């Protein structure tokens, strides 16, 4: 294996120490002589390493004064290159979100590289490695299985060391603190769904949420907090948690079929909250095969207001995701981060889209 050049060793060590807070913004890094002695290298090697840190926007070299740490904009060669990593691209609400991102980036002369992980951490890892090697200037990332600990923490650390800004969207890794995100208020959405159910006269709710992405647990937590506060109990048999592996064939499992049969019997529940519109459509079809009609026999509310929610029969009552506006906000924030600005996280609100699947009772 070829030994890494000494100037890269020095640069990587200093990047890591700056990211870890050993050297903070505004602090003098070290003199060339101190660095030469520390790493046992030549002054020319030290200068090459400092030049790389300057390119990364991590230091500011002032003649006659010294080298100061600062997290400013990286030096760009030509157009700004932005990587966009989503779980899916071509289906559901993702084309609209990506469209919002692309509009902003193209208006600002940026080059966008788009990849999908299919909610697989190994695929995410391969994409991140490719983006880093390709010299991307910033990343918009929808994390994979964010209810679980990420196995790609080292790559996000490497991005931080290179001063490459990362903005998470839709979901984020709670353990990666300090990285801003643009998400929907999933906890608030769960509470909103519960309120709609109660105000429309339903008293025996059931729910199905995805458990390996942070959105599902947050929606479930909000739903249960609101329902419990209003004195309504949800028995365990009325709760269905599923994972990414269940996405394509959810009702193949014995557990899911038993859940459907309980919904269809008309006794265990009078309404259902679905994780999103895709699953709502699938549930409506599966229940129809069992002789259960929505909304006549079972009320339903879901999330996202996908393009097919209105044309489906029955049309879905759902909580609307802003999609294009959401993607545009993510892109605008990342561009400001690339220019060296600090950005705060944003949690966007859901809007009720009232259609046919959750009529008032009584």
What is the helix (H) or strand (E) element at residue 60, kind and residue range?
A: strand 59-62
Supply the pLDDT for residue 247.
73
What is the model's pTM? Answer: 0.88
DSSP state of 250: G
Q: What residues in the chain have per-residue pLDDT under 50?
A: 1
Of 20, 19, 23, 21, the closest CA to residue 34 belongs to 23
Supply the pLDDT for residue 73.
81
d(CA 118, CA 202): 36
Q: pLDDT per residue over 12-46, tens digit each?
A: 899 888 888 888 888 888 888 889 899 999 989 98
Residue pair 346/334 in contact (Cβ under 8 Å)? The answer is no
Dump the DSSP string for 289-300: HTT--TTTT-EE
d(CA 223, CA 239): 12
Label residues 206-228 b or e (16+ Cβ within 10 Å = b): bbbbbbbbbbbbbbbebbbebbe
d(CA 108, CA 80): 9
């Amino acid at each position: 294996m070829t030994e890494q050049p000494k100037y890269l060793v020095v640069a990587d060590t200093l990047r890591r120490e700056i990211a870890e807070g050993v050297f903070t913004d505004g602090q003098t890094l070290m003199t060339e002589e101190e660095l030469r002695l520390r790493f046992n290298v030549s002054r020319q090697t030290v200068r090459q390493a400092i030049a790389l840190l300057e390119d990364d926007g991590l230091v500011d070299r002032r003649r006659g004064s010294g080298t100061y740490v600062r997290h400013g904009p990286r030096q760009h060669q030509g157009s700004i290159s932005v990587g966009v990593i989503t779980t899916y691209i071509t289906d559901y609400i993702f084309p609209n979100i990506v469209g919002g991102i692309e509009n902003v980036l193209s208006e600002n002369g940026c080059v966008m590289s788009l990849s999908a992980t299919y909610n697989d951490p190994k695929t995410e890892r391969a994409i991140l490695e490719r983006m880093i090697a390709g010299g991307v200037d910033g990343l918009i990332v929808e994390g994979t299985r964010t209810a679980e600990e990420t196995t790609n923490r080292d790559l996000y650390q490497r991005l931080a060391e290179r001063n490459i800004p990362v903005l998470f969207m839709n979901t984020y890794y709670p353990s990666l603190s300090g990285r801003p995100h643009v998400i929907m208020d999933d906890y608030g959405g769960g509470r909103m769904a519960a309120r709609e159910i109660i105000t429309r006269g339903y008293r025996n709710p059931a729910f199905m949420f995805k458990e390996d992405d942070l959105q599902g647990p947050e929606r479930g937590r909000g739903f249960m907090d609101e329902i419990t506060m209003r004195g309504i109990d949800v028995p365990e048999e009325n709760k269905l948690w599923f994972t990414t592996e269940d996405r394509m064939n959810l009702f193949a499992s014995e557990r899911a079929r038993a859940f459907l049969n309980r919904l269809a019997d008309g006794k265990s529940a009078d309404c259902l909250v679905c994780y999103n519109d895709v699953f709502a459509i699938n549930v409506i079809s599966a229940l129809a095969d069992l002789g259960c009609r929505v909304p006549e026999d079972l009320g339903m509310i879901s999330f996202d207001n996908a393009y097919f929610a209105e044309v489906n029969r029955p049309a879905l009552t759902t909580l609307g995701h802003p999609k294009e506006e959401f993607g545009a906000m993510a892109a605008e924030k990342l561009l400001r981060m690339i220019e060296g600005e600090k950005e705060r996280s944003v949690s966007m609100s859901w809007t009720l889209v009232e259609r046919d699947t959750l009529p008032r009772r009584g």
